Structure 1
Amino acid sequence: MKPDTIVESTMDEWAEEARVPAGLADRALRGRTRQRSFRIALIGGTSSLLAGAAAVTLVTGGGSVRPDPAEVAFEPASLSSETTTRTDLSSAFPRRLVAAGHMAVAAYYILNTPLDAERGTLHRTWHLYNPSKGVYEETQWSYLSVAPGMQRAAVLQGALPTSRVGVLDMRTQKVTRWIKVDKPVGGLAWSPDGRRLLLTSYSANPDVLGRAAGKSPRTGYYVVSNAAEPGTFHPLPGIADNPNNRQDLDWSRDGKLIWAPTATVPSKIFYDLNDRRQPAPASDVGDGVPAGAAPGRAGGTSARTAPSDEKAGLSPNGTLLPTFGPRPGPAVTVTDVNSGRKVAVLPIQQALAWADDSQLFAIGCDVKKCTGKGEFRNRLLLVTLKGKITPLTGYRRSDQLGTWIPIFTHR
């Protein structure tokens, strides 16, 4: 019998006796790439061929192949200790890394559909940071999420929702694995430690505008702990009183719970990983309310429980909370949630994210010209609680097509 025939026959027998795990071919191909050549020595018949495959453990008789957990599990995030402020003032669209404190703009997307459009599909063009080149590059992905440490990203390709999720090595900009799902997904979020990936599933594209209010196509979620399989699907339909079609799930700050966005107060509903409703953890109380909700109307709430209309939410140490105003602005007030003491009133339009416990990423316009249409000519800033402002990028027009929205990640 020819060697090729022996190999083919043996592989056919294996296929009948065991289930091959997702990614087995991937591992074999990667092994072949590292070694460049792979030779099988047929010594003493097919028994030597089988012995040569001892690295793969097969459980026959109805069992399954168990991939090496160390090979497919997500490694914990490797965080940078760098806190240097990095700016790119040369363009309205950042080219070089923008960062401050512990955080960085890991990616940004450009909106090609007006935010106030009533029909059509919201389209994003993503730009992802390439740490090997030190620049942001336009990508082919339709949606993405960057893990803490900015070494890997989860990506979706093509029309949403999609039936597979890519795990991207940001240094090589290559997908190392595809995770296939039975329920198509349209949203992604890495856990704070970077070891799990939350996938939000949808029955239809969540970015289609004009769908009837309260009819979000969200169907549920997966919590993925390794790149071999998505794990169990958990049904969790969209919230009826939230008019937004996209209702992506996200993680609590400690990574123990997940939350769903609402359009009311409270702005988040928390669940454990088995979709059981849970009270809001102390570290997350007060984080953002939906756009359009009036600040200060949560009747009877304290500074600790009062929600914020600013994306930044609570400071990393859980003590400071930015809120919009006072009018006419531009102004954002930062309050100590424990004492209720006003810490600062900052001349910015919006607080986007905390760089650390004393600095905020913010959107701001030229204060001297920030009246009427001048408010839409703005840029990304770094502002301290003492009011010191450092421009981070060039100006943009936030009222026009082609404006960009930053995505912040622990660097």
Structure 2
Amino acid sequence: MNSDTQSRDTLLTPPTARIRQSNHKQKQRRNRALVAVGTALAVVAGGAVIALVAGGGETPPPPVKSPRTAHVLARPDQSPPQDLIAAGRVAVSGFYTTKVVNEANGNATGTYTWSLYNEATKHYQKTDWAWVDVAPGMRTAAVLERDLPADRVGLVNMATGEVQRWIKVDKEIGSVQFSPDGKRLVATTYHLNPDGLYKDSSYRLNDKKVPGPKPSRTGFYVIDLATGKAKFSALPPRKDGTGAFAGAGRQDLQWDRDGKLLWEPAANKDGKVYYNEDARQSPVPEREASLPFSGGVLSPDGTHITGKFVGEDGQIVSEILNAKTGKRSALVPGQQMLAWADNDHLIAWRCDPKQCEPGKGEFRNQLILVGVNGEKAIPLSGYRHAKLRDDSRWTPILSER
């Protein structure tokens, strides 16, 4: 059984939901985990002004509420959602879809279309930004304009959709991400569009020659939002052990759980390479190294961590591990665990149990709320289309609210 973050037989595999998590031991900090990073997308022709499209003026249907978990807003009839989806401490702050735009010269560009939740309208609203990240608390979004890489970062008020502030930079950037405490941004810089696909970098995909990416990372900024000061550190594209460039055109930097280090995906036992803010490579943090499953999502109280998909003979289940001992503490429905709604409940992707055979309906999935104590799963969204490469296939942004 493959999830769409595990598939590598598509031209472009977007990153999955970005997730904000709290640290129980240090409640002032928020922990963010990127569940999976594939080849990311961005850019279509468009203006530099946000374009909001209302999700409808009608009164939304009553949310489905759970008596077991506080503050559950479920929309099992909506895919993509129009009204807020939330469970416990986590909400879908927005979502994106992706597609590839072919160009006359044989090149192509991956594009994102982002929708953000607007508190004033109570709907998700489509935007014209090329890149979006949402701060903890869902009050502010960091955005980049079309035609990446961009030379400034916008800070958007999510209640109005208006840019409150621009931060100008000297080197062009292709992505931004808030630190776990929401006080800083890491902005990865590129000299080419990181989502560009070029004819002179073509490769064969399913017996067809397709344009390929070009690594062009130059470094990153750490931006202090209180002062607007941006510190740049050079960091060229990373190479793997064979001397070839690792990954693809997009090689974004991410914050670690505590917001002290930065990391990028790597094909090593830890799955990550860490750097300090001066771009010097750092050892794996002790807290990360002590966890029983690299890349797992830690519960707010630090008791549980998500493990692997372990379904066999038609089962659609994943394991939850004891974070200290590494022993299995529960089996829960779903292919991919995304975020902890509270200490005992998670938001996950699960494919349609009636159509879950590999190659048929494994990508027809929906967001669900699952409990580690064996409660029945609660559908949070409607089902996505079964085709992995469908342009309307949406990916949520999960944020602390």
**TM exceeds 0.5?**
yes
Q: Distance in 1 between matches of 2:386 and 2:289?
A: 30
> 1:157-176 to 2 correspondence within 5 Å?
157-176=145-164
Does 2:362 align with 1:362?
no
- Equivalent position of 2:85 in the other structure: 98
User: How far has the Cα of 1:410 moved from its partner?
Assistant: 0.8
Structure 1 or 2, whichever has the larger Rg, is 1
Partners of 2:353 and 2:373 in 1: CA distance? 17
Contact 1:146 1:154 in 2 (8 A): yes
1:348 to 334, 339, 348: 334
- What fraction of aligned residue pairs are identical, expressed as a percent? 40
Q: How many residues align?
A: 310
Structure 1 residues 126 and 214, CA gap change in structure 2 (3 angstroms): closer
Query: Paired residue for 1:279?
Result: 283
Q: Secondary structure at the match of 2:125?
A: strand
Tell me which residue corresponds to 1:407. 397
- 1:137 is matched with 125
Residues 227-306 of structure 1 mapped to structure 2, 5 A cutoff? 229-241=228-240, 242-285=246-289, 304-306=291-293
Answer 1 or 2: which has greater helix percent. Answer: 1
Report the alpha carbon displacement of residue 122 of structure 1 after superposing the two structures with TM.
1.8
Query: More strand per residue: 1 or 2?
Result: 2
In angstroms, what is the RMSD of aligned CA positions?
2.6
Distance in 1, Cα, partners of 2:214 & 2:268: 16
**Matched residues in 2 for 1:230 and 1:364: separation?**
43
Query: Map of 1:178-197 to 2, 5 A cutoff?
Result: 178-197=166-185
3-state SS of the aligned residue for 2:153? strand
Once residues 141 and 265 of structure 1 are traced to their aligned partners in structure 2, the CA distance between those partners, rounded to angstroms, is: 35
Q: Deviations for 1:105-145, whole angstroms, at most 9, x for unmatched residues?
A: 1110012249xxx9732211100011122211000111010
Is the alpha carbon distance of 1:326 and 1:370 closer, same or farther for their aligned partners in structure 2, counting shifts above 3 Å? Answer: closer
1:244 deviates by 2.5
1:398 CA drift (Å): 4.5
- 1:6-405 → structure 2 map (5 Å cutoff): 83-113=70-100, 120-209=108-197, 211=201, 215-226=214-225, 229-241=228-240, 242-285=246-289, 304-308=291-295, 313-318=297-302, 319-328=304-313, 329-372=315-358, 373-387=360-374, 388-399=376-387, 400-405=390-395
- Structure 2 CA distance for aligned equivalents of residues 90 and 193 of structure 1: 34
| 1:390 counterpart letter in structure 2 | I
Change (3 A) 1:333 1:95: same
Q: Distance in 1 between matches of 2:272 and 2:342?
A: 23
Query: 2:300 and 2:217 mapped to 1: Cα distance?
Result: 30
**AA partner of residue 80 (structure 2):** F
Q: Distance in 2 between matches of 1:340 and 1:154?
A: 37
Deviation of 1:377 (Å): 1.6
Seen in structure 2, the aligned counterparts of structure 1 residues 87 and 236 have a Cα distance that, compared at 3 Å, is: same
Q: Which runs of 5+ in 2 are unaligned?
A: 1-27, 31-68, 203-211, 241-245
Q: For 1:367 and 1:346, locate their aligned partners in 2 and report how far apart those are by CA, in whole Å.
A: 14
Output one character per residue of 1:351-399: Cα deviation in whole Å (capped at 9) or x when no partner.
1222222211111122233224122221111111124311001111152
Moved more, 222-231 or 190-199: 222-231
Name the CA shift for 1:230/1:203 in 2 (closer, same or farther; >3 Å).
Answer: farther
Cα distance in 1 for residues equivalent to 2:288 and 2:94: 24
- Contact conserved, 2:333 with 2:377, CA < 8 A, in 1? no
